[in-house]
Structure 1
């Protein structure tokens, strides 16, 4: 087994050298517990990259790991279940010794496979040792109805039989995913989708810690921590967890969506792909103002509270990420057409959200074709919610007065940032609320975005009229 040069020369290469080094074998759960204790004692999170769970999910997960439990995460789609499971490898030792050539990571001190037992019996202290990195001690299977016992536990290898070995020879076994993750972490995603007869095959793994393959009279004791994910039972009709299997998981941890908009925004900005484009003429950067980021996150929160959205299927954080990327992409496309180099997303770019939302939200409506209307209503609701929080009403009275006295504003994709930004010179009352939104940034792109947001917010507040014609709009007073 290839080993990286960094520190590889210092690791023992034989069983005798391993004993002399003082290396101590530990069960996988004890290993994880010790690393978890170190992080909790130091006030560090178990792993980075997961936000919004510090006071809810993480304490439960810490308890489960300290207790040495197998864990099942229960939650709707897009709640970082798989990410947390995969991150558990960070709680393993960086390198682990195995009997060289072992398919199931045999412990050199206590081998269980026939290959490793024979090798240790033959070579004794001279048994060669390989080292496995912690990333290779993780196995994962997405449960599907056609998953078989052979996939998970193992099967007779017909090629080895054809080579002349007897069926009774343990060396004819082809180990499944669970044995191959011996001394590591095995994860099953969407566990209820596993056929019930296959779930039965996991009972021994969780309780007796062994597997039996076909009719072989062998007991293969495994050292595995099993972690699974599942959607709530009222979400899926595709399958269910059998009661004995559910009973064998030590801890069931309920995940959730972000509880507030700032957390949703933190995740959204961390996950979204930035749109800074390098062209022959130089770099083009796209900025999404804080208030429009809030609109995208608020849209998801409103969808999760809407009775017109199927809440059993969930509204994933992936919706926020996709919408944030679509908003940025629309701004980039608009800016490229206008020949702009510095681009700031505007309210007009929110028109891209329905296309990136429809595949991620299940609308419940008795009428055909209502999806577009419902999504548009949610977007407008998000804009209005953020507008009321971000813009001081005292700064908009003079704006409304100016429009009632005859001021008119034209917006839309065809209107450049320079044209829209000139409005704060033509309608002086716009300056204060616009500068409050931009934080004093007077660049045309930032000013144009803030102008559009203020005008749309006043329209949705029923304080300005808006006439729309395709991608263009005209704002005027209500008098």
Structure 2
């Protein structure tokens, strides 16, 4: 684990001598967040496009000491946001060594720890818990039980001879085991209503009740949940008394412009080969158009995972081409996108009346996205040298998924204005490669076709541009 070294205090006496101060999790989060804000540091790094909307609302909830619900469509970064909160915790926090629920050495709460503290005094052993381990998460499913979240009787402890009713026979659930940390519940409406009732005490009285045990166990944690809008899921709902116990409900959203989508793709995608900026913009533009298309069920939404998967798929297509045609440093091209869109259909939910037209819709929006990026990036550039290549009706240029960059460049030769195109597409002349040039040329060809200045025919993965 990167960061500061694990503290060396190993007993409660040494911990007191060091001047350590007992704080609740919410006090710890509040003070660390204030320190970040005063230092001008991002409170939730990596939350692209939410700096002026969601992040301030989360900051206010943390400063208020509120548990909260993140409400939004799939793929809006709700889980990532929950996991990012752990960065606001202290890097190391002391716990009573051997405690099942991570009790603070200054504040034991279980009978066993209280007895140990009384018997050992300043010699009570202390261990240290890293913040990366202080975040727990549960995907709510209909079969989740109260025992999973809160706890239940442990039959093995009964078998050892302890009497039923002894609090030490309890097997703690996930929430107590992340006491003094942050716990996230994904898809909260999917929890059965009777299980949601089991969270009442955790959120309001900050304790747990397990069967008929006379057990008061004050929990110290931040509880965060995520949910899709109820009008989409129809699988369940957050019951009103539970919603009332959360301090805040925060609505998330998708990136609000193409630039934010591109930044998100760059941050999240693991690319197996180079994908030029203009192709990332085409994917971002396509994603944006899908989120506005009447053919798509917008209650479901279009996840950011669609754009990320598309970028990774075109990179894989380039890598495949490089392996088959023995091309070094392959670069993804516009022609790689149509071939992978079909594999991404499972990430979209089309409206009922669009059955059978899914590929047609994706192809149409893909062309629109390409044309939009072509106009945006190359507006005002003189492309007549490219169209002049097709002055002779017999002149054609062939490209495709398995056409190497060198072959495409040989068909073009030297074209006036190519350096201007590369510069407008953000390709540096100092480290330009054949793959980058081929990707730029293919964008120009496709853009000229979409603006009806040249023709195009596609057969079996091969595309031929002509006059």
> What TM-score do you get using the length of structure 2 for normalisation?
0.93
The residue number in structure 1 matching 2:323 is 336
1:197 aligns with 2:183: no
**Residue pair 2:295, 2:351 contacting (<8 A) in 1 also:** yes
C-alpha distance in 2 between matches for 1:111 and 1:45? 34
**Residue pair 1:344, 1:449 contacting (<8 A) in 2 also:** yes
Q: 1:289 to 1:138 in 2, by over 3 A?
A: closer
Superposition map of 1:4-403 within 5 A: 7-8=5-6, 11-275=8-272, 286-366=273-353, 368-397=355-384, 399-400=386-387, 402-403=389-390
C-alpha distance in 1 between matches for 2:48 and 2:129? 30
User: What SS does the aligned partner of 1:252 have?
Assistant: strand
**Residue pair 1:323, 1:356 contacting (<8 A) in 2 also:** no
The residue number in structure 1 matching 2:405 is 417
What do the CA deviations read for 1:161-195 (whole angstroms, capped 9, x no partner)? 11101112111111111111111111111111011
1:473 aligns with 2:458: no
**Residue pair 2:342, 2:359 contacting (<8 A) in 1 also:** no
What do the CA deviations read for 1:80-123 (whole angstroms, capped 9, x no partner)? 11111112121112222222221111222221111111112222
C-alpha distance in 2 between matches for 1:19 and 1:367? 68
Compute the RMSD of aligned alpha carbons.
2.3
**Residue pair 1:402, 1:429 contacting (<8 A) in 2 also:** no
Q: 1:104 to 1:345 in 2, by over 3 A?
A: same
State how many pairs are aligned: 464
The residue number in structure 2 matching 1:459 is 449
C-alpha distance in 1 between matches for 2:129 and 2:88? 15
Superposition map of 1:426-445 within 5 A: 433=421, 436-437=424-425, 438-440=427-429, 443-445=433-435
> What residue ranges of structure 1 are gaps of 5+ in the alignment?
276-285
> What residue ranges of structure 2 are gaps of 5+ in the alignment?
none
Q: 1:208 to 1:404 in 2, by over 3 A?
A: same
What do the CA deviations read for 1:12-55 (whole angstroms, capped 9, x no partner)? 32222222222111111111100000001111111322211111
C-alpha distance in 1 between matches for 2:87 and 2:355? 49
> What TM-score do you get using the length of structure 1 for normalisation?
0.91
The residue number in structure 2 matching 1:280 is none
User: What SS does the aligned partner of 1:210 have?
Assistant: coil
Superposition deviation, residue 269 in structure 1: 1.6
**Residue pair 1:435, 1:442 contacting (<8 A) in 2 also:** no
**Residue pair 1:57, 1:254 contacting (<8 A) in 2 also:** yes
**Residue pair 1:322, 1:356 contacting (<8 A) in 2 also:** no
